[in-house]
Structure 1
Amino acid sequence: MELNNIKTYLAIAIVGFTVGILYAAIEKDVPRTLTIFFITLYTVLALRFILERRHYKKHKTILASTQFLMLPFLVMLMGNYISPIAFTYRIFDIEIDLSGGSSIYSPFNLISISLILPVVILSIYFGNHYSGKWPAIAVNRKVRKGRKIPFLIHTLYVAIFLVGFFINWQIDFVCFLFVVFYVIYIFRYFIIAFAVRSNQQVRVTTTTARSTTGRSTRSSATTRRTTASSSSRSRSGSTRTTRPATTRTAASRTSRSSSVRVDPGIDIRPARSKTTKKTSTTKTVSKSIFPIGTPKKDEMKCIICYMDFDKKEKRRIILCPNCRYPAHEDEFISWFKTSKLCARCNQSISARYVSNPKYRINIKIYIEKVIEKL
């Protein structure tokens, strides 16, 4: 039974919210009702995260997608606002009195403990984006290169927590740690990294200037030595006596030139060098379009977007030259601009293979010759 579908999530949500509403109508206990709602939301989002992660790992794909950043954040967002009023065991509370009668309140309870895992997941994933381990991110099934989008998403999450904090002066202790981790990442991967790069550029510029100055000094010294030697040679040549040049008659020159004979029929032009043309050899690609191994019919999806192929689609597909699993042409090319490795088998792909149009296959033909025969 396939659990990763909308019916499964709707069933869990309907059961949880129905129980919460009935409990609120009978007992009229808002904290317990909100706790039931939080448990329901946590279950739905956690199940979605686990099933999607298993699906990505099955196809050997990195988890660089916006949904893996959004699902843990939704759990943290609801837990942050329910934690101060939820019906649960409290471990400790932090209260700081401010001027004007207001105070800062930060609880740590069982709901806070349930938020530790989402905070750890988000911290690891954002760290992978900032460090360059994940050079791109998938946004709405489109690959976006760089770390600008993860930085904007991270900043938006922190801003939402801070806006809620400045409104009611309450924030969960674990969510507060998430904000602290954000500040640490900004200093580590942006401010300190920028300062180190600037220092390296200054060192390279200084070294280049010194080497250029040394070369110019050596060249000027060489020029002075050459000028001095040429002037000494000119002075020594002027003191020598010039010998009278001997003149030859035109007759002697004519007789010398006419002494050379060329037999008729002999070509005295220099022979042309024979140029050899280099023949380019291309690596032969297997003509088989069946995937390597023992594929299943439900695995024959696009290795980039994981969507099924439809005969009505006008797009073409490209096969990986290594594992020969299919992908939509436009999504394959967009992925190739970011990574030169296959999204499934993690093997290298040559640019010549991607640019060659003969490796494109019509989707309808591929479905009839491969997918329907599995």
Structure 2
Amino acid sequence: MNTIVTFGLLILVASMALGGITNSIYAQDDPSILLKLAKRAQNQIQNQISSESPDEIKRLFEEGIQNVNYLEKAIRNNDTVSAKEHFLSAMKIFTEISRHLSTSDDAAAKSSRDISEETPTNPARSTAKDPSNDIQRLQVYVNNLKSLAEKYETSIDFSELDKLFELSRQQISDNQFSLASETLQKIQEIVVEINKEIREEAAKQESQRAKEYAQQYLEQLDRLIENAKKQGLSDEIINKLENARENLSSADNPADIVQEIRKILSIKKQFELTKNDRLESRVLQIEKTISQLSQIDGVDHDILVDAKETLQTIKRYLYDGEFDNANQLLRDLAKQLEEIKNSL
């Protein structure tokens, strides 16, 4: 159980790091998730620290809290780059603290074994170690797994684990520490399998989100290519954009999709084709808002249909390079959707 705290922290960042991907695209969609993960890690570490903890541990923890505060401030300021940096710094510190605590637990356990070997004991009394602390730590970790399982809408059944936890506590209450340790081992085995299942489901959803984002970006790129042609830009620029579109459309995993989008951003910046990026970003946000409203009971369906038609008109304006008309319609549509949200 010496690695449970560290393992628990690592699962907190699974949704941001599964498959080796931590990128600003998804952080920009909902950067508040970074704060939730960091706060959860902070609370978990705080539960493990006592007044008797080493000063170095306390100092590191304060540094971690400071990074969480900076993260919260960066999110309020819409500074996603700083938010990501403070998030990673905080998680690195919390993980380091977990490793220190695990090392301390190992040393304490070894010392306890050494003393028990030198001290005469009553043969009739059980020499098994009370696993209460390990059970408590593992319960915290399983609670985190439950939250992730709910987030990814998995069908994982935790009832067996709940029963095993209840059994282990009863065994501890009856001073049956050996049996409780065996139950704990069973819990660990099930947790490993559940963790694997959640990771696989998260990776699948991450891949699907990346593909959906790529499809949205392809639509933007089509409009950009058409504008470039109408503006009479060189064949070199047009060819680079069309090649970039082909590469993005064939990208199959999130890492490749992110890489191709970065290449496109570089091309746009190189040839000063970023004039309508702000408008395109607002189009994506409007699409997201319409999608969210469509899932809420009580919202007039006809109004949403009109909003979608207006959005298509905006896209046609962008396609034709009529940025002023697109901007005006975007303002009107955003105001209309905001009024709907406020009326709910």
TM-score (norm 1): 0.21
Say which structure is richer in helix. 2
Say which structure is richer in strand. 1
More RCO (CA 8 Å, sep 6+): 2
